[in-house]
Amino acid sequence: MAKLVEITGKAMSGEWGFDDETGNGIPVLRTTNFTNEGVVDYKNVVTRTIIKKNIDEKYLRPGDVIIEKSGGSDKQPVGRVVYFNGPEKTYLFNNFTGLLRVKDQTLWFPKYIFYSLYGNYRRGGTRAFENKTTGLHNLKVDDYVSRYEITELDHKKQIEVCEYLDKIYKVIKLREEELQKLDDLIKARFVEMFGDPILNPKGWEMVAVGDIVTDVRYGTSKPAVEGGKYPYLRMNNLTSDGHLDLKDLKYIDISDDEIEKCVVRKGDVLFNRTNSIELVGKTAVFDLPEDMVIAGYIIRVRLNEKLLPEIFSQYMNLEAIKSILRGMAKGAVNQANINAQELQSIKVYIPSMELQNQFVEMKEQVDKSK
């Protein structure tokens, strides 16, 4: 691919400038504005005042493909790629990026280059070009671009392929928005039925979590293994809105005499005790028929008959409760922790069982729509 594009992306050598207080400065893209979907997140783009000569020559151009060259991890490969299509006069703070610009756009459609690189990244194809230093994964961009092969198509066909993929992407985003609205409906209906968890306007009995549990256990600290017997749930398998995400599922071997300590079965509640401050406390109901094993950063909670697992999970994922969890979390850099005793000290209301069952039935109907 080296003959198709020119590679820039050198460090800016102090040209970062300074904060713009007026809101009229130059938009500056950083890797924090990259998404895994290949688009730029403009919500948090900063603006800067940059004093340098020939600044116009340094602006991004529509059709530029920006590729991440530093910042990956063992869980996520480096090499995220985004397609730039505006706004005009945007600058790239590119210590950690490479900029690919198609030389002859009459032969190669830039978005076709992007989609090819994006697909390769999502398949994990950048792993072969990584080197690892001080905990970071770095992409050898020059080597990657020079060796990566793109399927040759005539220019018209490239455009047709991109138009088709654009339509698919729009459909996917639409479905994601619909799913988010259904999740928001469930949350709103929960508060409508049971009331604010702090004010408790309906006057439900309030108890500590420890009063309604029959079993609370930490997961195992043993590592995953190839060809393990049991699926292994880790903190990344719990989403922040209370679902299970099994896309990146590992496996583990556990001896028969240890399995009961860390196995999860249908109806158990999973609580993520250690994570970043934003994600600590993620809670989900395990609703699958197959037994799995949980990692040490997850707490398994089994409830008595006073509170249904779905009600408890929804309650723990309310923003008001998450705020309480963030306030009690302790930890070092990038790691917040809530232990089992602290979890059991949380206050939870106990609505009538009739109302609990009504909510679960409503949620099941919404889940069918999803």
Residue 92 lies in a domain: yes
In a domain, 364, yes or no: yes
Q: What is the mean pLDDT of residues 235-244?
A: 91
Residue with more model confidence, 71 or 289? 289
Claim to verify: residue 221 and residue 136 sit in the same structural domain? no
User: pLDDT-based confidence at 75, cuts 50/70/90?
Assistant: low
> Which of 152, 187, 205 is the C-terminal boundary of a domain?
152
User: What are the C-alpha distances in Å from 63 to residues 67, 82, 130, 253?
Assistant: 13, 10, 25, 48
Does 169 fall in a domain? no
Residue 134 inside a domain? The answer is yes
Task: Kindly tell me if the per-residue pLDDT of 12 is higher than 50.
Answer: no
**Quick check: 95 pLDDT over 70?**
no
User: What's the pLDDT at 154?
Assistant: 94
Q: What is the CA radius of gyration of the chain?
A: 25
- pLDDT for res 163: 97
The whole-number average pLDDT for the span 49-57 is 72
With bands split at pLDDT 50, 70 and 90, how would you rate the model's confidence at 330? confident
Burial of 315 (0-12, 13-18, 19+ CB in 10 A): buried
95 domain-assigned: yes
Looking at residue 363, which CATH number applies to its domain? 3.90.220.20
pLDDT in tens, 152-184: 899 999 999 999 999 999 999 999 999 999 999
Q: Are residues 136 and 96 in the same domain?
A: yes
Query: How much is the pLDDT for 72?
Result: 65
Q: Are 101 and 202 members of one domain?
A: no
Mean pLDDT of 77-105: 82
Same domain, 235 and 329: yes
Q: How many domains are contained in the chain?
A: 2
Angle made by CA atoms 302, 321, 331, in degrees to the nearest 5: 85
Cα 328 off chain centre by: 23
Q: Do residue 15 and residue 87 come from a single domain?
A: yes
> Do residues 138 and 9 share a domain?
yes
CA 54 to chain centre: 38
Decide which of 91, 118, 152 is a domain's last residue. Answer: 152
Instruction: Please check the confidence at residue 11 and state whether its pLDDT lies above 50.
Output: no
Q: Of 152, 186, 221, which closes a domain?
A: 152
- Model confidence pLDDT, tens digit, residues 174-215: 999 999 999 999 999 999 999 999 999 999 999 999 999 999
28-32, 169-173, 243-247, 331-335: range with lowest mean pLDDT = 331-335
> What was the pLDDT predicted at 355?
97
Query: Of 22 and 361, which is predicted with more confidence?
Result: 361
Q: Are residues 186 and 130 in the same domain?
A: no
- Range of the structural domain that residue 356 is part of: 178-369
* 119 and 199 belong to one structural domain: no
Q: Looking at the structure, tell me whether residues 231 and 95 fall in a common domain.
A: no
Does some domain include residue 159? no
Q: What is the mean pLDDT of residues 69-81?
A: 77
Torsion region of 16: left, alpha or beta (phi above 0 gives left; psi -120 to 50 gives alpha): alpha
* pLDDT the model gives residue 14: 46
Q: In what order do the strands lie in the sheet with 130-133?
A: 70-72, 136-139, 130-133
pTM (whole model) above 0.85: no
Answer yes or no: is 273 within a domain.
yes
What average pLDDT score do residues 48-56 get? 73
Provide the mean pLDDT of the chain.
87
Band of the pLDDT at 311, cuts 50, 70, 90? very high
Is residue 317 domain-resident?
yes
What proportion of the chain, given as a percentage, has pLDDT over 70? 90
pLDDT at 162: 97
Are 365 and 223 in a shared domain?
yes
C-alpha distances out from residue 31 to 45, 70, 121, Å: 10, 9, 15
Cα distance between residue 310 and residue 46, in whole Å: 40
348 and 204 inside one domain = yes
Regarding whether 187 and 142 lie in a shared domain, the answer is: no
pLDDT band at 46; cut points 50, 70, 90: confident
